[in-house]
Amino acid sequence: MYMFIILMFLSGIISYCLVHSHLLIMLFSLEYLVLVLLLTLFYYLMFLGVESYFILFFMVFAVCEGALGLGVLVNLIRNHGNDYLMSMSILSW
């Protein structure tokens, strides 16, 4: 089971590093990594047999991170017309 979680985490890291042209794909990769970390945390806390209230806090922060990423994506599309990261430049402001 641990090898499967490590494989999932590494595939998320590789997809995040290799596809860096579109912001939407990068956000999907980050959300995938957060879900893998949530699964790992769930298994670890269930293995220890402790209360799992920390998972709720982790999920709240993950949802906030997703909402912030979606806001950045909408702002980028409104200002530049696409979600290419290379179209965003500091000099254009």
25: domain CATH number is 1.10.287.3510
Task: Please compute the mean of the pLDDT values over residues 23-50 and round it to a whole number.
Answer: 91
Number of domains in the chain: 1
**Contact at 8 Å (CB) between 61 and 68?**
no
Domain range enclosing 88 = 2-92
In this prediction, residue 31 carries a pLDDT of: 93
Arithmetic mean of pLDDT over the chain: 87
Higher pLDDT, 42 or 92: 42
Whether the per-residue pLDDT at 30 is higher than 60: the answer is: yes
Give the confidence band of 9 by pLDDT, cuts at 50, 70, 90.
Answer: very high
Whole-model pTM: value is: 0.82
